[in-house]
Structure 1
Amino acid sequence: MSVHPYAGDRIGLATIHAKERAVAPPFRRLMDATVVVAPDLDTDKLGTFSGEVPRPDALVETSLMKAELVFRTMDVDCAVASEGSYGPIDRLPLTPGGMEIMAFVDRKRGMRVVETLATHRTNWRLMSFEAGDPSVSKAVKSLGFPDYGVFVISGSSGDHPVKDLTNLDEVVAAVDREARRSADGKALVVADMRAHRNPMRMKVLRALAWKLARRLATLCPKCGAPGFGHLLSRRGLPCEACGDPTHWIDFEIDGCSCCGHAVVRLRNDGRRTAPRLSCKACRNRSVVSSTASGETTGRTG
């Protein structure tokens, strides 16, 4: 096998939350590259899960900003960073979920690669308590505490979240204190989603890191640059009944971020038509046909 372009390279990682535990193994295994945490970076300046610092932009843009920070403190050509968002799902408000983004920047090649991973694997939850509530300990344990961290936040002001609590007595005391100083008399307990305080999120980041590393390990068949892979999906798979385009994916486009070479890839499942039930045109014709039949029946009755 030929040596990968990143073999032996140092790749800077922007993190203060031990994400190297998730990112380093696949980069080492698949490309023989060493992931090194960038020194003297405060990634919390680009947003915090506890809410006191808002994210400056959308997830993808923020993850790229974070990766670019690496070059301020390290003399490397490549950098990687991740950004995540967790909370209730819009259409299923009682079901939490998350989205993880991992961005890779190769400034020598002028290349940026971003991979994403949506997940339902999370303990994220937000709970509200008044001072003296006897159910705090049991509720916090249900989040996995102390193996999983929690934040305690005043119900009326999120400026000073209480972090890095280590035992139940500290959590109960923080809830009582924050509830009493809150204008609404309540304190919020929120699952800590920082990677080093959330083993489940660390597993999701590990899965995403493998996805990114596999992408980077794939070389462009034309120019040999790393990162050849999925660029976009094109919808419009034809209906099996009428042949009209549907919302189903018809084909994928893989490409190179360096030279622009791209290839069309058919669906992995081999389907070349979409089910009739997925076709808007067929459904509309069925409605029209049913209406017309009903009108005819009404006239003859």
Structure 2
Amino acid sequence: MEIFKDRKLVIATKHKKESVIAPLLEKNLGVKCFVPDDFDTDVLGTFTGEIERKEGALTTARKKCLLAMEKTNCDLGIASEGSFGPHPTIFIAHADDEFLIFIDKKNNLEIIVRELSLDTNFNAATINSFQNLVDLVKNVGFPEHAVILKITEKEVTYVVKGIQSWELLEESYNKLSANSSQVVAETDMRAMYNPTRMKVIEKAAKKLVEKIKSFCPQCNTPGFGVVKTKPGLLCKWCGSPTNSIKSHLYQCQKCQFELEKMFPNEKKTEDPMYCDNCNP
């Protein structure tokens, strides 16, 4: 893309996210990606609680991106931020909620995508024996996926992160359990220690590339994307509106041109099982 070709793009990360982000952006946009030296994203919050993240994921990603751009004097940047917890609609399942933000100061562009995925090994538990710990880590993909040990959920004075060997796991557990009857074990959700999360970030990066390559039909500005979804797909049986998506509303952030695309999921009616009238 000529608007980005051969421009330097800073990736705001200290957790190796460039491994999945840079190849996609360089191939599709023609940019030259780099990571800033000694850039500590932990100042905006850590997963283990030493530094509390004071703002939401998107605001934090934006701040992270702008800090990296300022530090490197680069007018093109990208950052991601994730959060983990119950899925917003499937409450019994954990979810990885990733935001990716692309900022172009030269052209006054800010392009954002979100990837909400059920594909996560996010887990935490209080354990009272090494065998309990072994059972837990086997279920979260250890040792390919790292784990963290600490004395309590909120006690962060002694935390062992990035554990990816059975030897270190046992050694760390013995040290913590010597001073406490219980130990908290949790998955290390930093991207470089969590291949499952890294795949979700890669998926978000692919979505971002597609959005950047979507141009406004009126002014040709990149990033012409969905700003609102509209429910109301009609039930196949009774014809009543359902909560399923009927259309997507696209908007250009530069000229504000809007376009409504009907039936984005390629179906014009909904199965009665999703109808409150037919299946209350």
Q: Same fold (TM over 0.5)?
A: yes
What are structure 1's unaligned runs of at least 5 residues? 288-301
Residues 144-223 of structure 1 mapped to structure 2, 5 A cutoff: 144-155=141-152, 157-160=154-157, 161-182=159-180, 185-223=181-219
Cα distance in 1 for partners of 2:47, 2:153 equals 17
Q: How many residues matched?
A: 279
**What SS does the aligned partner of 1:64 have?**
helix
Q: Give the alignment's TM-score, normalised by structure 1.
A: 0.82
Considering fraction of residues, name the structure with more helix.
1
Q: Which residue of 2 aligns with 1:292?
A: none
**What SS does the aligned partner of 2:54 have?**
coil
Deviations 1:135-194 (A, max 9, x none): 434543443333221110112643232113353232223223323434xx2111111111
Q: Which residue of 2 aligns with 1:42?
A: 40
Contact residue 136 and residue 172 of structure 1 kept, 8 A: no
Residues 20-169 of structure 1 mapped to structure 2, 5 A cutoff: 20-89=18-87, 95-130=93-128, 133-155=130-152, 157-160=154-157, 161-169=159-167
Cα distance in 1 for partners of 2:140, 2:274 equals 40
Contact residue 79 and residue 101 of structure 2 kept, 8 A: yes
**What SS does the aligned partner of 1:23 have?**
helix
How far residue 97 of structure 1 moved from its aligned partner, in angstroms, is 2.3
Contact residue 13 and residue 41 of structure 2 kept, 8 A: yes
Contact residue 64 and residue 81 of structure 1 kept, 8 A: yes
How far residue 215 of structure 1 moved from its aligned partner, in angstroms, is 0.8
Cα distance in 2 for partners of 1:101, 1:111 equals 16
Contact residue 41 and residue 69 of structure 1 kept, 8 A: no
Sort the Cα spacing of 1:144 and 1:219 in 2 relative to 1 into closer, same or farther, 3 A: same
How far residue 86 of structure 1 moved from its aligned partner, in angstroms, is 2.1
Query: Percent identity at matched positions?
Result: 28
How far residue 273 of structure 1 moved from its aligned partner, in angstroms, is 4.1
Cα distance in 1 for partners of 2:218, 2:253 equals 12
Contact residue 225 and residue 256 of structure 1 kept, 8 A: yes
Sort the Cα spacing of 1:179 and 1:88 in 2 relative to 1 into closer, same or farther, 3 A: farther
Query: Which AA in structure 1 matches 2:175?
Result: R
Sort the Cα spacing of 1:166 and 1:243 in 2 relative to 1 into closer, same or farther, 3 A: closer
Contact residue 96 and residue 197 of structure 2 kept, 8 A: no
Deviations 1:230-269 (A, max 9, x none): 2211123345566554322221111222221221111134
How far residue 17 of structure 1 moved from its aligned partner, in angstroms, is 0.3
How far residue 274 of structure 1 moved from its aligned partner, in angstroms, is 4.2
Sort the Cα spacing of 1:222 and 1:72 in 2 relative to 1 into closer, same or farther, 3 A: same
Contact residue 215 and residue 222 of structure 2 kept, 8 A: yes
Q: Give the alignment's TM-score, normalised by structure 2.
A: 0.88
Q: Which residue of 2 aligns with 1:230?
A: 226
Q: Which residue of 2 aligns with 1:265?
A: 261
Sort the Cα spacing of 1:211 and 1:91 in 2 relative to 1 into closer, same or farther, 3 A: closer
RMSD: 2.6
Query: Which AA in structure 1 matches 2:151?
Result: S
Higher Rg: 1
